[in-house]
Structure formats: C-alpha cells, structure tokens
Amino acid sequence: MRNKIFKNYPNVILSLSKDDRKSEVTLRQAQCDNLRPASTYFDQGGQAQCDNVILSLSKDDRIEKSHFDRLSVTKVFNLSVILFLLFFTSILSAQPKFSEMSVKPGAFSRMGFGPRGIGMGNGLSALTEGNLVAYYNPASSVFQEGNSFQTGYSFLSLDRALNFLNFTRKFEFRSSKAENLGRPASVAGISAGIINSGVSKIDGRDNNGLKTKELSTSENLFFLAVANKFSEKFALGLTVKFYYYKLYEDITSTGVGFDIGAIYKFNENFNVSFMLVDLNSKYKWDTSPIYGQQGLSSENEFPLLKKIGIRYNNPQNKFLLVAEFENSNVGTNILKFGGEYNIYDGLFLRAGVDQFNLSNGDWAVKPAAGFSYLYNLDGYLIGIDYAFMLEPYSSSDRHIIGVNFNF
Amino acid sequence: MKKIFLFLFIIILSNINFSQVTNYKVGELDDRLNKSSSLNPTSNTIIDIIAIGDTIWLGTSRGVSVSFDKGETWTNFYGRSDFGTDNISAIGYDTYTRTFWCATAKSQEVTGGQTLPAGSGLKYTNDFGNTWNSIPQPVDGQNDNQIQYGINNLSALPVTVTVQNLCYDIAFTPNTIWIATFAGGLRRSTDNGQTWQRVVLPPDNKNSIAPTDTLDFCLAPVGGSFCSVGNLNHRVFSVIALNDSTVLVGTANGINKTTNANYANPSWVKFNHQNQDNPISGNFITALAYNNTSNTIWASTWKAEDPNEFYGVSFSSDGGLNWQTTLYDERPHNFAFKFAQPIVLTDNGAFRSTDFGQTWILPNSIVDNQTGAQLRSNVFYSAAVTGNYIFLGSDDGLARLKENIGSVWEGEWKVYLSSQPLNSDEEVYCYPNPFSPRQELLKFRYSTNGQEEKVTIRIYDFAFNYVATVIQNASRITDNEGAPDFWNGKDDNGNYVPNGVYFYRIEIGDKDPLFGKILVLQ
C-alpha cells in the first residue's frame, strides 16, 4: 500500500538525468521505508514524494537547491515564536472591545481541531499534506495518504473539556483505461470525527446563595464529510454536522449544519481554498420543563463563516505555510496563519497565530506553537502531537496533546 | 395571604440545602427551633410579611424570620426537626392572643412522577419564637364522610392525605383560627389546632347557604365515585377576618362572606363574576385584604373558567355588594395599605395608588442608600406597612423604605439580600446558578477584606472571548458578608446572552484574578 505513492516521481526529479533519478529514487525508497513522513507532499500532478532528507545529494548540492539551511530555518522559527509570544503577551492588558461573535453558540467548535491544527493557528483550510481532517476543509480528505486516525485531548482552565477524534481516508477508483495511465479514474474521500466539549464543577446555587449541587454540561459535534477530486487540481467536499448540547438536567438541544469546502491546487507549491462553515447550524431551546409557564422557547443561530485559505509548500526545505481569512456574518474578519517545519527526521515544529481580528483590535489574538514526533513501528506510523496556545484573560493557557496513527 | 401558583412555583422549584450561620439552641425541648441572628433574613423569597409596631415577621422559603427593631437585625428560625427544609406557605398573627402562626409545606412526588405540594402542619409561638408548638396538618378520617350543617346531614369527601391539602392563608376571630387549605377546604379550630372543624361553604350552584336551608350537595373539592360533582367553591385559597364575626373566604368560585363566623354553622353569601351586576373580575381569589382606613375589601381576582372573566384587582366599599376593578391583566399576589393607599404586589412590581385605583405608581428604583445594593426584581409577593416604614418582599430579596412624609415611594431604602458568607477572601461565587436573565439578576459575592479596592468583573464565553463588563475599576469595600454586584445577563450590546456556560473574572486591586462559572438558562 505504501509503495503505491512512489510509482510516479515528482516533476522536480524529471529534470535530473536517468541515472540520477534512479539513484535518488532508490535512496528515497529506502528512507521512506524507514520512516513514513508526517507530511506526504504532493506535486501538482497529485504525486507524492517522501520529505526525508535527500542524502544522495552532496552538501553543496543541497545548499544550492535550498534558499536556507536547516539552522537558519530553525532560527527563524524560534525567533518567530518568541516574537509572537512577546508581542501578543504585551497587549493582553488592553481593554477588550465587544464582538458579537462571543455571544454566538458553538464557541467550542471554533477553537480548532487537534494539536496539529491548533499549533498552526487553525488556518488549515488549504492544507493537503499530512494527517487531514474535514473540520478544516471537507475537500481535504481526498488528499489523505493512508488511513489517518487522530485523537486529541486538551488541558484547559476552569474545568473545560475539549477532545478530538477523527478518521480520514481517501478512496481511489480505477478503470482499465486509467489503470493503464497509472492513475486512478476518480478519487473520493471521507472524514468522520467528534469534538467533545463541556464544563464540569459548575457551582450550583439557589437564589439564597446556598449550594445546591455541582453542575456540568456536555456539548458535542459529530461530523461526517465526503469529498470528490474532480481533477488533479480541484476537489470539493461537504460536511454534515450534528450538534448535541446537554445543558441542564432535561434541557438539551440538537442542531444539524453543513460545511462546504473546495481546494484548488495552482501548482506544487500553492493551494487555495474556499469554505462555508455552519450553514443552518443552530440550537433550539425550550426551558418549560424547568421553568413551567415561565419557560422560554428560543433559537440561537451559529455564525456563518466564509473562509479563504492559502497554503505554500516547500518540500525541498521541508516547510509549509498556511494562511486563512475568515469573514463572519456577525462582523468579524479574522486572519489565521502558521507554519510547519520538518526540522529532523520525524520531528515537526509548528507555530501560528489564531484570531487576529481585523475588525476588532481588542479581540484576543491567540498565538500558538507545537510539535509532532512520528515513529515508524512495523509499517505503522505512530505520532505524538502537542500544541500550546495562549488564552488571554483565562487563568491559564491551552495545552493540547494528541496521538495519531497512519496505516 | 398567598396564592397557589406562587407557592406551587416556589415549593416545586426551590432546592434548599441546610446551612446556617452561627446558631444556638433555645432551650432543650424538641419542639423548639434553632435560631440565628443576622443582618439579613435567611431567604430572598419572601412569601408574606406581617408588621406589628417595630416587630416584622417574615414567612420565607427558608423558615420564619423576625425583627424586633424594624429590620435592623433579624432572628431566623429554620432547620432541625420542626422546620426541616419545609417551605412556609402562610403566616398569621392572632392579635387577640398575640400569637404568631405559620404553616409549612413540602414537595411530594405522587404516582406518575408528578411533584405536588403537601401540607406539613402548622406551628405557633406566643413568646416571640422562644418556644414553638407544632401541629400536624389536619386531615380527615376514612369515615368522615358526613357533615352536619344546620338541619342538613351532608355528604363530605374525606380529605385523608396532605397532598394538595396545605394551608395557604390564616385568619383569626376571637378564640378561633381559620385556615384555607385548598383541597382540605376551609377549617377552623377553637383549641389552638388540637382539633379542626370543616366549614361548609356553598356549592358552585348556590349563591348562599344558611343552616336553616334544606340542602343536598356534597362537600368536595373534586368529583369522583363518592361525590359525583366537585365544587370549585370548596377549593379554598384565602381567608380574612374583617372583625370579630365577619370572615371572607376566597375560593376558585368567588368570595364567600359570613357575618356570623362565631356560630356553629355560619351562613354564607357568595360573590362572583356571574351573580352580581358589578362583579369581581374573576372567580379565582388568590388573595384578600381589608383596608380599615377606607373600609374597603380588596381581592386578587384571577380568571377562572368563564371566558368572560379577566385577571385584575377588584375592590368593594359596600361589603361586597358592588365591585370595581382595576389593574387589568395583572395577577396580584398580595396587598398592603398605607392608610387608604393600596399597595398591590404582582409579577410586574409593587403598584400603589393614591387616588383609589385610578392611577398606579411603581417605585423608580430600589437601591440601598448605605450599601448600594439593589433589588432589581419586579416580582413582588408581599408587603407590610408600619408607621412610615414599608417592607416589600420579592422573589429576590427584601426591601425596606423609610418613606418621606407626604411622598410616594421616596425616602431611604434598605435592601436585604440573603447569601452565604464566603469562607475566605479568596473565595468567590455567583448565584443563582443556573441563572435566568429575564427573571432575575446574577449576584457576585467576593471580598475585598474590608479594604477599599478597585474591582473589575468581566464575563467571557467558553473560548474566553469577551462578552460583557459588569463593573470596571469600581471602588468597593466589602467583606465575607458584604453586598454583591449584579449582572443582568446581557452582553455589551445590551442583548441577553444565549443559553450556555460563561465564565467570570474578578480583579480585586492588584491581587490575582478570581474566576467562576455561570450557567445561563433562559
């Protein structure tokens, strides 16, 4: 299964001589047998290449091919993280200005999915490398290599829970004609997942201030996405989302919403994406079981988000950058950006910025950073992920850990 | 006087835990209650108030509170075997014997999972609460299916259980206590509650009864196999005594009046929406009151079954022969009077009229002149007047107005807000939680350790995005029992926040911020 991705070589290698190609392919095959990369990059023809260090090239060749060496990239990465932290920490004392987004339901569903996405600032809608999840774009599942299984657990202040579970894979359908060309006739993808959140240890009190009981809530998002690759350059996907909120005793609400996403690959380096998030998503409440005649029937609509994303991938230097602009129908215009750098075999560093609201300078910007380490165990890739995100005004910041499997 | 829906709401929804400030036993007898002294009553839900001179009695969702100094300090009676966690459903003061009475009730689950109120008895004290005497809820025996009324031997449905048989109102004539017990009907006792007599009221199809009439009906609040027809007029909610011999009884079928209340078999005349030219607005009588200054009967007359009835206040200056109506569509809970001026307590405020019901005036705002604490609720259940002091009981606190002479609702306010003391300066909490913004205010309790500090309270959502500022850099001096700050449940745009969990952050001076959680449930 894994060897299928090496049947066709990236375009960049076609410029080399036949012998060079042979030797490089041999080496790349050997390295990829040792370590399955976390980010299996694709060229514009949809062909994958292993992102391991190309040992067949001389040092000089590597320098010539690269715009920066590993050390310089590391320095830039570290400096960026430090600058982010210093800059954004310095503005936390500013007086916050209200934005309607903060009183829209489903805040948990806009906090990101898993350590990888959160570590890159959550602007992943154009990403097509590595472990993918329809949360960021349902169209991305057609680019998933192997079977990707991801889990995540968040350490949040004030007894908040935020947990992730996802499975993504693609399906290649071949015709005899296509088989002759070595390419699938069509590619589809699915991605299914859960985001579980909630708050526990809520201090229940009556109108005299007396303790009643400890309260807790549970808010969940179940999603299933399907996608189709209409050409080597274009993929489109749809996510069906089911929200379930258990708020208090018998008071619950459910909602069904949709995401639509598209990805267009300009070339090997650039992808663009477009997303519509939370079409039709809403909570409906009826509190008459608690309050009787004074109960209230209400409906709270989720904000409709429109996203445009871009991804720049530089496989030669083993880094990628993502950025996303998110507009909502409640007046926010949010910028998200981040990057990932494969600093060492199996080790990926990440940094990003989330919630840079162009419409509200007081909106709490949330810088993030993280890493992943992947290990090949008998053909199975096992990864450990971690992300850290600043959370202004809270009592502590966010820490997200995760495990991913690719098989 | 009370009304059933108020009490049903309180008794079903209240979830009361036992907690007290420093208390001490009064004596060693089992029939005595624990009591505690405090600057506040133990509850913010004030069912009823009685004011006699400087003495103020409160019936609350957490027992009885009394003040002997016009509300400066309170003695609270709550807990132990006598009260337990029962609600107070009615209070009354017997001026003839200077005895204070209260009735208690609790929620009880019945077949089918429904929760209904059940009477748990009465208690009385004639020494200002030092000793209490408990009386079980009066019920009938299985064989109490006949009752003598004058020349008639009437069938009577025995009310053998306490469910829906609870005391909603108490009145007194010389040597007699009268109680309105809903399904249990009207009862009276001449031996301090040792024995009770069921009092026969007219059936729905009769406007009056006398012991000399030939009658054939069943004394029953509901129909069934024993009595084929039940009578709304046998479901009794309110009772008052106008004088030594005149008693008014409010039911679900109108107002019953007797002028020979001390007779063995009083005769009754019924006033309702259908049987008078100038009738009451509705037959469901949730409260009755009598203004001695203007000799006027006031009734809370809710709509019952007739579609022509309507909610409002009805009052009569001729003993009930003719009624005027006012405050259309309001659903009063109780009445009080300052001289001839009526004060009507409803879900929409404390209405007061200086022109005999033509126009009504509400208090502008109720803010404690000393502490700044506010009583923001519009739901008022009770009021009482003593001298130039007016006490208002709401679902969210007690207020006292020392009213300026000649003014209306103007003067010095004092607001009493019950809450639990903080255990330390580092503790914070908010209440009620869950919080329903359209019905109440959220209160934040914190301490500045008695020092003046700048305090900021802000609200955030699940992702810690900013929602609202409660106070910002406000000067506060408070301690573990200080006044709270309030949030109305609105964001910075002035809109109620949707259901969900929110977080508050309290910054006190230079200390580390304190945090807590709010469950908003509209």
Of A97, A208, A300, which is closest to B44 when you measure between CB atoms?
A208
Name the token pair of B256: 């019953």
Chain A residues inside the 8 Å CB shell of B377: none
Q: Which two three-digit tokens encode residue A238?
A: 């749809």
| Of the candidate ranges B10-14, B285-289, B479-483, the one whose mean pLDDT is the lowest | B10-14
Say whether pLDDT at B16 is over 70.
Answer: no
More confident residue, A53 or A215: A215
B12 to each of A60, B117, B255, B332, B492, how far by Cα in Å? 82, 7, 28, 20, 34
Of B42, B395, B464, the CB nearest to A394: B464
Mutate to test the interface with B, among A91, A102, A254, A354 (most CBs of B within 10 A): A102
CB contact under 8 A, A98 and B467: yes
Residue A377's Cβ-count burial label (10 Å; 0-12, 13-18, 19+) is: exposed
Query: Is a pLDDT exceeding 50 seen at residue A345?
Result: yes
Q: Are the beta carbons of A205 and B396 separated by less than 8 Å?
A: no
Q: Beta strands A319-328 and B197-199: pairing type?
A: unpaired
Is A158 within 8 Å of B503 when comparing Cβ atoms? yes
Mutate to test the interface with A, among B444, B492, B499, B511 (most CBs of A within 10 A): B499
**In this structure, what token pair is assigned to residue A75?**
């320095």
| Residue B17 token pair | 């835990």
B:20-79 residues touching chain A, CB 8 A cutoff = 42-45, 61-62
Tokens 């005036």 belong to residue: B361
* Yes or no, beta carbons of B463 and A207 under 8 Å apart: no
Cβ distance B90 to B61 under 8 Å?
Answer: no
The pairing of beta strand B176-180 with beta strand A41-42: unpaired
Nearest chain B residue (CA) to A293: B9
Distances (CA, A) of A277 to A225, A305, A306, A328, B39: 13, 5, 6, 9, 55
Q: Do A291 and B439 touch (CB under 8 A)?
A: yes
Residues in chain B with CB shorter than 8 Å from the CB of A98 are 466-468, 491-493
pLDDT value at residue B372:
78
- Cβ-Cβ contacts under 8 Å, B443 against chain A: 209
Nearest CA in chain B to A355: B465
Calculate how close chain B gets to A215, using CA atoms only, in Å. 9
Nearest to A152 by CA among A372, A378, A392: A372
The first and second tokens of residue A63, run together, are: 């320098």
pLDDT digits (tens, 9 = 90+) for B370-411: 887 888 788 999 999 999 999 999 998 999 999 999 999 999
Under the banding of pLDDT at 50, 70 and 90, the label for residue A182 is low
- pLDDT > 90? residue A80: no
Assess contact for A356 and A365: CB atoms under 8 A. yes
- Chain A residue whose CA is closest to B377: A207
More confident residue, A80 or A140: A140
Q: Which residues of chain B have a CB within 8 Å of the CB of A251? A: 499, 521
Residue B516 contacts A where some CB pair is shorter than 8 Å: yes
8 Å CB contact between B201 and B184: no
Per-residue pLDDT band at B330 (split at 50, 70, 90):
very high
* In chain B, residues 260-319 whose CB comes closer than 8 Å to chain A: none
Mean pLDDT value across residues B40-47 = 91
How many beta carbons lie within 10 A of that of residue B304, not counting itself?
17
Q: Which of B521, B483, B476 is nearest to B501 (CA)?
A: B521
User: Which tokens belong to B475?
Assistant: 């000067």
A204/B434 Cβ within 8 A: yes
Q: Quick: pLDDT tens for A237-267.
A: 999 999 999 999 989 999 999 999 999 999 9
Which residues in B262-420 belong to E strands, given as ranges?
Answer: 268-271, 284-291, 296-302, 312-316, 324-326, 334-338, 341-346, 349-352, 380-386, 389-394, 397-403, 411-416
CB contact set of B60 (below 8 Å; sequence gap of 6+)? B41, B42, B43, B45, B46, B47, B88
Closest CA to B69 of B83, B85, B87, B56: B56
The mean pLDDT of chain A is 79
Instruction: Average the pLDDT over B181-206 and give the result.
Output: 96
Place of tokens 């399907």: A226
Over 60: is that where the pLDDT of B311 sits? yes
Closest to A285 (Cβ–Cβ): which among B16, B43, B499?
B499
For residue A178, the model assigns a pLDDT of: 52
Which residues 467-506 on chain B approach chain A with CB closer than 8 angstroms?
467-468, 491-493, 495, 497-501, 503, 505
A109 token code pair: 């569903």
- Amino acid, single-letter form, for residue A354: D
State residue B145's pLDDT score: 93
Q: Which pLDDT score is estimated for B9?
A: 38
pLDDT, tens digit, for every residue of B113-161? Answer: 778 899 999 999 999 888 889 999 999 999 999 999 999 999 999 999 9
Please indicate whether, in this complex, the C-beta atoms of A207 and B430 are within 8 angstroms of each other: no
pLDDT band for A49, please (50, 70, 90 cuts).
very low
Burial environment of residue B163 by CB neighbours within 10 A (0 to 12, 13 to 18, 19 or more) = middle
In sequence order, what are the residues at sequence separation of 6 or more whose Cβ sits closer than 8 angstroms to the Cβ of residue B256? B201, B202, B233, B248, B249, B250, B268, B269, B270, B271
In our burial notation (b when 16+ CB lie closer than 10 A, e otherwise), range A104-143 reads bbbbbbbbbbbbbbbbbbbbbbbbbbbbbbbbbbbbbbbb
Check CB contact under 8 Å for A285 and B436.
Answer: no
Radius of gyration of chain B (CA): 24
Mean per-residue pLDDT for A102-111?
A: 95
The 10s digit of each residue's pLDDT in B237-282 is 999 999 999 999 999 999 999 999 999 999 999 999 999 999 999 9
Residues B418 and B420: their CA atoms lie apart, in Å, by 7
Say yes or no: A332 contacts chain B, CB-CB below 8 A: no
Q: Which residues pair with residue B63 across a beta bridge? A: B60
φ, ψ of residue B182 to 5 degrees: the values are 55, -110
Question: B458 — contact with chain A (CB < 8 Å)?
Answer: yes
Residue B350 phi, psi (nearest 5): -105, 100
Of A146-150, A305-309, B198-202, the least confident: A146-150
Interface contact flag, A204 B433, Cβ < 8 Å: yes
- Give the mean pLDDT of chain B: 89
DSSP B86-110: PEEEEEEEETTTTEEEEEEEEEEE-
- Could you please report the per-residue DSSP string of A186-197? EEEEEEEEEEEE
Cβ contacts (< 8 Å) between B500 and chain A: which residues?
105, 107, 217, 245, 247
Q: Are strands B442-445 and B397-403 parallel, antiparallel or unpaired?
A: unpaired
Between B61, B418, B429, which is nearest A203 by CB? B429
Cβ(A292)–Cβ(A250) under 8 Å?
Answer: no
Q: How far apart are CA A315 and CA A367, in angstroms?
A: 25
- Please name the residues in contact with B320: beta carbons below 8 A apart, sequence gap of 6 or more: B248, B255, B257, B269, B271, B297
pTM of the model: 0.74
pLDDT tens for B282-298 read: 999 999 999 999 999 99
The band of A26, judged by pLDDT with boundaries at 50, 70 and 90, is very low
- Cβ of A212 within 8 Å of Cβ of B17? The answer is yes
The shortest CB-CB distance from B493 to any of A98, A111, A283 is to A98
Please report residues of A whose CB lies closer than 8 A to that of B462.
107-108, 160, 197, 199, 219
B172 beta partners:
B177
pLDDT on residue A92: 41
Distance CA B4, CA B286 (A): 7
> Do B499 and A201 make contact, defined as CB atoms within 8 angstroms?
no
Kindly report the backbone phi and psi dihedral angles of residue A20, in degrees, each rounded to the nearest multiple of 5, phi listed first. Answer: -60, -40
Any B CB within 8 A of A3 CB: no
